[in-house]
Amino acid sequence: MFNIGEKDERGTQKRIEHRGKYLRASRTGGVSLRAQTKAAGLNVTGNTTHGIRVSTRITKGTNVAVQNGRLRLRGRYGKGPTKLNLSKSGVSFSTKNGLGTFNWTNPNRSSAKIGGVQMRGKKAANLQMIYLAIMLVVNLIKLAGMLMIWIVQGTVIMVRGLSIGTVRLSEDVVELSRRIRANRLAKPGERTISQAAVGAALQEEEPLRAALTYVVAMWGRGLSSGDIPTEPESLQHAVAVIDTHALDGLIQPGNPRSEARQMQRVTAALAARYASAATQEQIAETLLTLDEAARSHGFRTRLQDTLIDVYADRARPVFKA
């Protein structure tokens, strides 16, 4: 009785009142007897406090009634919490919230419910004002929090994008600089090869691959044609294909740094010629062959690493997935 402990759809205490079949009792309406019936499509309601009322619905959301000789018109339209209200006095807009209903055009027609106690009029309007102000502050705080989260997320995404872009850009810059360096090395190396008698023999794919193998396996370890080992097989094949003594003649004796520089130039020039004479598959296979030749007698030397890098930067092998 009186809805004590019962909750509405918002989870708050229902209005404290009693609505029986004939008896009504509430704080604002007092105690009254009420009876209702239907006749000729009209709703007829008798109330000991409010008298007789005859009502009917003329359209969806619109009701018209006559109570104690006075015409009453009521309409409510719209979906969601905000509604358009129609009455004899005009049109108004109201919004339902957790406290009750606030009438924007006529605040004194607002309602508020606290602990199941229903209030209307000016007191309800004042409570609604306070409630709306509090909710405004709460929503502003929530909005500020959401904006901060969005800003942080956006900053993280931007930083990630910039870092990825920077890494890719730096990789592209490094690759481009290495390619330019290899091209610069190839020009004086090509002049050296062209002026030598062995240059005419270094035109086709097989002798060029043999020369590259010899350069990496022997020059990369500071050896020459007089120090040729029995392994690997690729080196033995290279010795059988090209004149290693003539190839050694491309390097002018001097200090180790100058000789290493000359070796890099010749390797770059051989790689440039090989890139024009061989297919992409052969260019990639040769890189593996050079790596195998460099490792045939232990770990690769620093000079062997440099020569292989020069070949890769100038010939640009591509491995298919």
Residues 114 and 186 in one domain: no
Task: Please identify every stretch of the chain with a pLDDT value under 50, giving residue numbers as ranges.
Answer: none
Last residue of a domain, one of 91, 120, 149: 120
Total number of domains constituting the chain: 2
At residue 316, what are phi and psi to the nearest 5 degrees? 55, 65
What pLDDT was estimated at residue 190?
92
For 68, the enclosing helix (H) or strand (E) is none
pLDDT value, residue 161: 84
Burial class (CB in 10 A: 0-12, 13-18, 19+), 12: middle
Q: What is the pTM of this model?
A: 0.51
Last residue of a domain, one of 80, 104, 120: 120
Instruction: Examine residue 152 and state whether it is found in any structural domain, yes or no.
Output: no
**177 in the same domain as 103:** no
111 with 178, same domain: the answer is no
Answer yes or no: do 188 and 300 share one domain.
yes
Residue 151 lies in a domain: no
In a domain, 167, yes or no: no
Question: Looking at the domain assignment, is residue 207 inside a domain?
Answer: yes
Q: Are residues 64 and 181 in the same domain?
A: no
d(CA 232, CA 210): 12
Q: Where are the alpha helices (DSSP H) in the chain?
A: 122-195, 205-217, 233-241, 244-248, 256-277, 280-294, 302-315
pLDDT at position 302, please? 92
Residue 143 within a domain: no
The domain boundary, picked from 120, 153, 183, lies at: 120
- The answer to the question of residue 229 being in a domain is yes
Parent domain of 82 = 17-120
Asked if 109 and 177 sit in the same domain, the reply is: no
